[in-house]
A and B are shown apart, each in its own frame.
Chain A
Amino acid sequence: MNLCLPAVFLPLLAAPAIGVFGTRAQGALANLALNVIVFGFTVGVFFEPGSGLIHADDLGMIFGALTSFVCMTTALSNLGFVWSGNEVLSLRRWRVYHAMCQVVLGSTLLGLYADNIGLLWVAVEGATIAATVGVSLSRTASALEAAWKYFILGGVGIALALFGTMLVYLAAQPALGPGLAAMSFTALGAHATKLDGSLLTLAFVFLLFGYGTKAALVPLHGWLPDAYAEGPIPLTTALSTLMLNVALIAILRFRHLMQANFAGGGGALQPGVFLLTLGLASLLLTAFSLSRRRDARRFFGFSSIEHSGIAVFAFGIGGPAAIFGGLLHMLVHTLIKSALFQALMRGAALRGSAAPGNYSFSHLRGMIHSNKYLGWLLGGCVFALTGLPPSGLFASEFIIISQTIQRDPYVSLPLGLGLVLCAVAIIRHVGPLVFGHAPPHTKHQKAGVGINLAGLQLALGFGIAFAMPWFLLNALSSVAAALQ
């Protein structure tokens, strides 16, 4: 049987139920239970990839499992978030919140497993709407403003993506004939050279802008920092890691179509230039935006922009090695970033309240004085983002830079500049955040068991790049070779 279907539709179908019934504790527990089950399914997908409209290729398998794993750990720390009771919401909103978590999970998985550009689009749209609702949940003025921003910019992105999708169909329709075949990734990939190249190029521009909005590439990034800062933090974790991945993978797939068409003489342009432009823009703007952030979640929002910029840059460089590097970068970044947000949530809870707006660096500094383990964990996560060893990002960035040098030496200059500047801006905060002077009346407290899971994720983020299991290595390499 096809295990993708239950993995996708269980959360989607369960969402209304959660949204209607149950107390907030029950909602949180149901959320966790569903996540665990879905994680089981996504692991099963490795053995039952299925076929047809919704099936998992290697890429889908890996990132599907990653998605559900991150969602599971987030749901676990979500328990603490709920029980700490800092987030004062009415019961109705708690229900909506948990429902939205499920919708985000389901539509993200749909976006990963869908073998149809239309379905992919629907999935991204659903995730966007759910996230918008989630962000607006705490009805503060700034939250509403953030959600409004997110809706307007995200809606525009969705519109552009739909236009691009239709253009892809139009480009494929003469070759593959009308019908579903012209919208399936496998069919498109198989006949990439026969597509109408020039139309495909036009389509790629729109898709790049559409999904690039979701991936928060500069200049399409306007919604991201505020959405991160205002939404409930478990949802933010999902946004920062999962939706970015879906959008990036979509961009990667379409880029492959265009590249193959270009290589096959189908008349498409080389996609690299577009991707490199947006990637470098993200990297360099982030480098200078990071330095003045006072709110930790905005800060790490910008760092997410940086990292998706790096991934897109890697895709733009092209070639199996660079694609491999980009995918590895996404993988490790997802693990580290989710661990980081869970640690942040816990730290803010120790400092009083995990409500949005309590994440200013001045509020969190000197975490080691609140809890030694948590302080080191937080410091480790932030340090890992800089890409210095032993962080796994070092391996991916090493591969990307080396490939850049070999394929396109001149863009390696801005790349290196941006990487160094961002890393410096990030590493500046480790000292005060971990060892700085804690605010007055800080006393040593327990961090709770949930934090160990974040520690595990961080350890994975450190280890997986240097001691990669062979099956993962093979899968990633074959994906990279196939999508080059």
Chain B
Amino acid sequence: MNLDYPLAHLMGGVILMCAFSMLSQRRLAAMITLYQVQALTLSAAAFWQGFAQGAGDLYLTGLITLVIKGILLPMGMRQIVQRFNMVRAVETAVPVGFSMILGVGLIGIAVLVVLPTTVSAVSLTREDLAISLSVVLLGLLVMTLRRNAIAQVIGFLSTENGLVLAATGMPGMPFVAELSVALLVLLAFLVIGVFLFRIREHFDTLDLVGIEEIERRGR
């Protein structure tokens, strides 16, 4: 039983690293790859947690994560990138270096918030919570800093990963959470897909500049 803590810690660290290095990427393809790695690690973590807590439903979670997020979603997004020919770099709102600094600050905040709060909870949960909170915040940061719709979607998905990571860490949490996360991701992907096509009908690119133009007109 002395092995599960470092392993979980390691996987969490990997997931966090993926989320963090997403900030530094300018190319969509690279971001998608990072997301895939993150998702795969997450599924591994879910399996490991299931083994460690002896909870069967976590295996299912891991499976869902592996299939949908680790394989299907990246494929779909690569499709979109190909079709819309968006291999070129997308520009970010703030310089990359600055966004990295912000990311570090966010991680610091997450630790600051979580560590003192969970003095009573088990150490495993504490680690997971800090890490997953950082992942969530980093995902939001990516959404905030990227001007490109796909990039925002990726940031959103990485946020979801952080949620699942937290969920796997919850000892004995009923299945509701995982189910709904999966549901959310499915629906999210569907709706986003619909959107992308529609937006393609109206704007030639996925950049939100066109939308921002609409918004500029006072209403």
Contact = CB atoms under 8 A, between A and B. Distances in A.
Interface of A: 116, 118-119, 121-122, 125, 129, 132-133, 136, 139, 141-142, 144-145, 147-149, 151-152, 155-156, 158-160, 162-163, 165-167, 169-170, 173-174, 177-180, 183, 196, 198-199, 201-202, 229, 292-295, 298
A147 B211 CA distance: 11
Interface string B163-201: 100110011111011001101100110011011001101
Contacts, number: 122
Interface string B142-168: 010000010010001001101100110
16 contacts: A118-B177, A125-B183, A133-B191, A136-B198, A139-B198, A142-B214, A147-B195, A149-B211, A155-B156, A162-B180, A166-B163, A174-B120, A178-B173, A196-B117, A198-B116, A199-B121
Given A159-B136, A199-B121, A148 B211 contact: yes
B174 A179 contact: yes
A180 B174 contact: yes
Given A159-B163, A199-B121, A132 B198 contact: no
Interface string B16-44: 00000000000000000000000000000
B159 A166 contact: no
A202 B114 contact: yes
A148 B199 contact: yes
Nearest to B144: A156
A110 to B, nearest CB: 13
Given A173-B171, A174-B120, A174-B121, A165 B160 contact: no
A294 B219 CA distance: 6
A202 B199 CA distance: 37
B129 interface: yes
Contacts of A148: 149, 195, 199, 211
Given A144-B202, A156-B159, 12 more contacts: A141-B210, A145-B211, A148-B149, A149-B211, A151-B192, A159-B163, A162-B177, A163-B162, A166-B163, A173-B170, A173-B173, A198-B118
Contact of B184 (A141, A149, A158): A158
A78 B120 CA distance: 54
Contacts of A229: 219
A139 B195 CA distance: 11
B172 A173 contact: yes
Counting contact residues on chain B (CB < 8 A from A), the size range is 35 or more
A156 B152 CA distance: 11
Closest 9 CB pairs of A and B: A178-B172, A118-B176, A198-B117, A145-B211, A141-B202, A159-B159, A122-B180, A144-B198, A199-B117
Contact of A170 (B121, B160, B180, B195): B121
Contacts of B125: 170
A129 B181 contact: no
Contact of B176 (A136, A183, A201, A293): A183
A269 to B, nearest CB: 11
B201 A121 contact: no
B143 A156 contact: yes
- Residue of B172, B174, B210 contacting most chain A CB atoms (<10 Å): B174
A129 B173 contact: no
A45 to B, nearest CB: 23
A129 B188 CA distance: 9
Contact of A165 (B117, B140, B177, B214): B177
B130 to A, nearest CB: 11
Nearest to B116: A198
A118 B174 contact: yes
A156 B163 CA distance: 12
A118 B195 contact: no
A136 B190 CA distance: 14
